[in-house]
Structure 1
Amino acid sequence: MAGLTFVDVCSGAGGLALGLEQAGFAPRLLLDDDEVAVATLRTNRPRWNVLRSDLLDFDPAEHPESHDVDLLAAGLPRVRSTATAGRVDSGLEERLLKATVYLVHAIRPRAVLIENVPELTHSDSHEAFREFARIELDHLGYAFRWFVVDAVDFGVPQNRKHGVLVAVRRQWAEAFRPPVPTSREPMTVGAALGPSMAARGWADATRWADQADQPAPTLVGGSKNRGGADLGPTRTKKKWATMGVNAHTVGDRVPGSDFVWDPELGRENMVKLTVEQAALLQGFPATWQISGLKTARYRQVGHATPPPVGKALGLAVAEALHSGSTIFAAG
């Protein structure tokens, strides 16, 4: 369906926005409060209208270009799932979720897409938000679906589940269907990163790729109050170790020709993934440039919605709006 438009809030590194662009949507406005994330967006898409603003302070009345769009999208940061207990505002996640729903009053999109942790769809800890969203969206004339998608089902070399809320105005809502998996076989870490591991002449790249024969565990970005970049909690680090990866840190570059890979000797003889490789595991194209210093760059990647997931969700919404319009016109 040509000419679809969207507003994207909490845009981060642009994973959801890029996926929506691939699905045929054009952005009217993107916003994020993080300086380096805004730099990432402007570097990769200079023509996008990117605003640096906290979602909680954003006033749509000052940005008429955000009104009357087809889709309001929000890939909200996974604050609760990635932050160390006691080091983050525990109410921030709920305030961001509610702020997105409140934007619907002013923007009045034909559809709404909110992506977050899978627990969003069923956990008792999110029950209050689900009830809040039900009341608000029903009042505004939307029907909605809660569901979970896994990035690995859409060609992303990572087991990463997403809790999704899609709300569509009632005249189009009946036509909406959640996206159907597009990948029959999961892509492995080795298949995704093998070529980059060999980029500096490392002879063992193929042997390593053969051992990294499964999708990655979920990447996490952590909070701004958390320390340096690593690939996740203890259980995740152990999973990476079975693939010969030192997950306690993020590397500056891929192995050189003289690197000795021998996981039995400990972490220092395991490979370290770079930020660029982490981005590949999130489904970003190799050409997508992430701005900032290493920890800030990795945080953007870890929080991102994989673009292939964004594309699949965008295509599902576009199909509903197209089919619903046809049905509505015929009626």
Structure 2
Amino acid sequence: MSGLTFVDVCAGAGGLALGLERAGFEPRLLLDEDELAVTTLRSNRPRWHVLQGDLLDFDPAEHPMSHDVDLLAAGLPRVKSSATVGRTDSRTEERLLEAAVYLVHAIRPRAVLIENVPGLAHADEYRSFRDFARAELDHLGYESSWFVVNAVDFGVPQSRKQGVLVAVERERTKAFHPPSPTVRRPRTVGDALGPSMASRGWQDADRWAAQADRPAPTLVGGSKNRGGADLGPTGAKRTWETMGVNAHTLGDRIPGPEFHWDPGLGRDNMVKITVEQAALLQGFPETWAIAGLKTARYRQIGHATPPPVGEALGRAVAEALDGAPATSAAG
């Protein structure tokens, strides 16, 4: 498999693009409106062509490199919830979803990949979008598939469900099949962060890792109008507490030898996850640098598609386009 190309709109911190790169795709253009996300992308991959701009204003005619590509990918911000329905964030999300589909008319890729919250694939609140997308893509000659994937099935130490739309040109592809899980057993928070927690000499790192014996709840980036960084809604915070983690804030650095860990004494004696550790829980490599201050960095991480999920989706699309299974870059 070689020579596959893609355009990524709403590219964010690059989780989806990094996964697609691992799957053998080469980016022609990445688009995001956020200055810090653009900085993140350019600092990690200087050779990538990264454009700062709003998807709603993007005109492919002004960027010829976006044409004649194999895949149009869109990992749109995950801001919709029952608490945001009817708010500006919710309406903007719907417009971005529609804009990504309209972009297919101009770019005419061989495949389309749109990722968002799990409800995208089946919830009533997204039915009008699914009807709209199905009609538009069918008219253009694509076969559409709607499904849900969970990052924990692909080696990410986090329970994170994503709703996915994949559409592939009928006349040039075989049937698309959603990716199968790549791991038999979920990876735990303790597994993923144990070495990091011990790196400054914290004596309780192993004991903490043994208690953190499950995948993390879904990391939520939130909107720019939201306050400081934390590890999610009330239910998620309670789950973190069972692992001895104070989820009401993020730590500035990992614990040292002096830290006394005793969750029974309350939040002050619980460990805090750092932004760098949140990135590990999202499946980013340690070498992937996220630009900005703490809250802005965490927001980029929380919105990102986990790279292992992007890789699995990319390989499934590549098989449909090539008709030949791809070998794993991870081994």
Shorter-chain TM band? over 0.9
Deviation at 1:84, TM superposition (A): 5.3
Matches within 5 A, 1:169-318: 169-318=169-318
Provide the alpha-carbon RMSD of the alignment.
Answer: 1.2
Residues 6-51 of structure 1 show CA distances to partners (whole Å, capped at 9, x for unaligned) of 0000000000000000000000000000010000000100110000
TM-score if structure 1 supplies the norm length? 0.96
Give 1:67 deviation, angstroms: 0.3
Q: TM-score, normalised by structure 2?
A: 0.96
User: Do 2:212 and 2:244's aligned partners in 1 also have CA atoms closer than 8 Å?
Assistant: yes
> How high is the sequence identity, in percent, across the aligned residues?
77
Distance 1:81 1:63 in 2: 34
Structure 1 window deviating more from structure 2 (80-89 vs 141-150): it is: 80-89
Amino acid at match of 1:245: V
Task: Give distance in 1, aligned partners of 2:294 and 2:12.
Answer: 15
Determine whether 1:117 maps to 2:98.
Answer: no
Deviation for aligned residue 1:85: 6.4
1:105 and 2:105 aligned: yes
Corresponding residue number in structure 2 for 1:329: none
Matched, 1:74 2:74: yes
The answer (yes or no) to whether the contact 1:87–1:226 under 8 Å persists in 2 is: no
Aligned with 1:29: secondary structure? strand
Contact 2:174 2:323 in 1 (8 A): no
Contact kept, 8 Å, 2:43 with 2:289, in 1: the verdict is yes
User: 5 Å matches for 1:57-68?
Assistant: 57-68=57-68
Tell me which residue corresponds to 2:328. Answer: none
Q: How many angstroms apart in 2 are the aligned matches of 1:158 and 1:82? A: 22
Cα deviation for residue 90 of structure 1 reads 2.6
Q: State the match for 1:9 in structure 2.
A: 9
Q: How far apart, in 2, do the equivalents of 1:172 and 1:185 lie?
A: 36
Write the deviation string for residues 262-308 of structure 1: whole angstroms up to 9, x where unpaired: 00000010000000000000000000000001000000000000000
> Paired residues, what number?
324
CA contact (8 A) 1:83 1:223 kept: no
Runs of 5+ in structure 2 lacking a partner?
Answer: 325-331
Q: CA deviation at 1:176?
A: 1.3
- Structure 1 CA distance for aligned equivalents of residues 224 and 30 of structure 2: 21
The verdict on how the C-alpha distance between 1:41 and 1:83 changes in structure 2, with shifts beyond 3 A counting, is farther
In 1, the alpha carbon distance for the partners of 2:216 and 2:182 equals 18
Q: What secondary structure is seen at the aligned counterpart in 2 of 1:80?
A: coil
Q: Which amino acid aligns with 1:228?
A: G
2:89 touches 2:223 (CA, 8 Å); kept in 1?
Answer: no
SS at match of 2:103: helix
Q: Deviations over 1:211-263 (max 9, x none)?
A: 00000010000000000000000111000000000000011100011000000
Q: Deviations over 1:178-202 (max 9, x none)?
A: 1000100000000000000011110
CA displacement at 1:171 relative to structure 2: 1.9
